Amino acid sequence: MLERSLTAIRTLRAELARERSAVREPIAVVGTACRLPGGADSPERLWDLLDQGRDAVTEAPADRWPAELYHSADPRAPGRMYTTSGGFLTEDVDAFDAGVFGIPAQEAAQMDPQHRLLLETGWEALESGGLLTERPDSRKVGVFVGMSGSDHSRVPVPPETVGPFTATGAAPSVAAGRIAHTLGLRGPALVVDTACSSSLVAIHLAVRSLRLGECDAALAGGVNLLLAPDPYVALCKMGALSPTGRCRTFDAAADGYVRAEGCGLVALMRLSDARAARAPVLAVVRGSAVNHDGRAGGVTVPSERAQRELLREALRDAGADPHEMGYLETHGTGTPLGDPIEVRAAADVLCRDRPASRPLVLGALKSAVGHLEPAAGVAGLIKTVQVLRRGRIPGNLHLKEPNPRLGVEDLPVVLPDRPLPWPADGRGRIAGVSSFGFSGTNAHVVLQDARTAAPEHDGAGPEHYGAAPERDDAVPEGDDAASERDGAVPRVRRRAQVLPLSAAGPDALRDLVRRLADWAAAHPDA
């Protein structure tokens, strides 16, 4: 009897240990895809834009709304906006290849363009993670979308054009359900709206769902399109938008944020499953946290205390020391109130007793592309995955004179205005991504580079095509094989590689060839 009891206790302890391990398991980022301002229609093109220091902010396209009816330099003018600046997509937001997804033309015409962007970007993220090489419905894949309203539903339409697909085409809840239905995904499918933190909260929920075993893989991120003038007018009346039309994050001249549009999604798997599947691990989510400001100075006023608590909880979940975090992708909207609060909170948690030899670098994607609102968090995360992989941190645009209210003069904090190298050490690179909603809901994700978290599965090559890790296929040429045995460096030739390509149609195939050719030209040593 005693022996059986001891065996049962050992079994229960082992099960408890497995459960505890599962809820802390690292999550692999195996695929990323995006449509962002400035022609950044892939993570690599986003990196090019940032590394080259290009500014993606422009004036609103003429086909969005008649500017003369809504613009006024007088911020008090009723029904008018004092700025039309924004980070806009360069592609036609109405263009959509419905046939690829088996969607009838009539239904596609009544779909919110945000739904269409999510479908296209979701397909690419799953494909780049190798999750479309088998039938998607053979595993439980969850869909977690951050989305805050729909400008599409604000645009007036003649009553006679309302049809059988109008309701589902406009409903935010269908945005996630449509992806799951179209691709046959059987995990949880839900839409999150916490305002500007929506997409990072969606990623946090996807991480939790994977750890709890609710799904085997997950698609998470967000979308935002600027199609109607009303939100611009409302945000101008709040005084939230920059009258000078730029996000001057960390700068003494910061005067508000610039709106932006786009879409970003990441494909996630448990790290153990990614290793077993030999998936291309791009980075690893070590931990995440979500909280709320509580009773702050106002519903939209950020709380320094809540942000400190958020960082500490995310680090606890990640099992990481504050000094290990070398880079923080901030919320960084470029507001006179928000920037100092965020930087002070981060410095208090991450820089206390921090050695000067390991400074904390602060970055802000919004300075280059604007604030994607509900999709801002995933855009910042995709940028940070690139930073971790490349060991290089882009500079912050429009940073001329640091805001003295940040209080970092005597702290080991770097605010780069040009690209900085981020050398790797034995402990690897660890970064954080913050996203705060004006609803008061905050999110933070802790990431680690794949080379130290999962070295045998570090994804390499063009992420947009789901390439496997690079291999050295160079072979000694002719008699140089002997010189290699003698210790000399031989001349080499590369074996020719056949790359079978397929697409849904001729135009898509040509586009795929163009993208791959562009990547190969930019990476001659690959």
DSSP letters spanning 391-412: TEEPPPTT-SSB-GGG--TTSS
* From 71, 115, 371, 464, active-site residue: 371
| CB crowding 424-462: b at 16 or more within 10 Å, else e | eeeebbbbbbbbbbbbbbbbbbbbbbbbbbbeebbbbbb
| Tokens coding 90 | 């360069």
* From 71, 115, 196, 398, active-site residue: 196
Strands 262-270 and 430-436: unpaired
Dihedral sign computed on CA atoms, order 330, 334, 338, 344: positive
User: Half-sphere exposure of 361 toward its Cβ, with a 13 Å CA cutoff?
Assistant: 25
* From 204, 331, 444, 464, active-site residue: 331
Residues 6+ apart with CB under 8 A from 348: 308
Burial of 420 (0-12, 13-18, 19+ CB in 10 A): middle
d(C-alpha 199, C-alpha 221), whole Å: 5
Torsion of CA 315, 409, 429, 369, to 10 degrees: 90
Using only C-alpha atoms, the chain has a radius of gyration, in whole angstroms, of 24
For residue 351, indicate whether it is catalytic: no
For residue 236, indicate whether it is catalytic: no
d(C-alpha 239, C-alpha 241), whole Å: 6
d(C-alpha 221, C-alpha 33), whole Å: 10
CA 405 to chain centre: 29
d(C-alpha 39, C-alpha 46), whole Å: 8
d(C-alpha 402, C-alpha 389), whole Å: 28
Q: How many of the other CB atoms lie within 10 Å of CB of 319?
A: 12
Dihedral sign computed on CA atoms, order 322, 325, 331, 336: positive
For residue 34, indicate whether it is catalytic: no
d(C-alpha 204, C-alpha 154), whole Å: 30
d(C-alpha 357, C-alpha 335), whole Å: 30
d(C-alpha 69, C-alpha 325), whole Å: 48
Q: How many of the other CB atoms lie within 10 Å of CB of 508?
A: 13
| Tokens coding 119 | 């479908």
Q: Which residues are catalytic?
A: 196, 331, 371
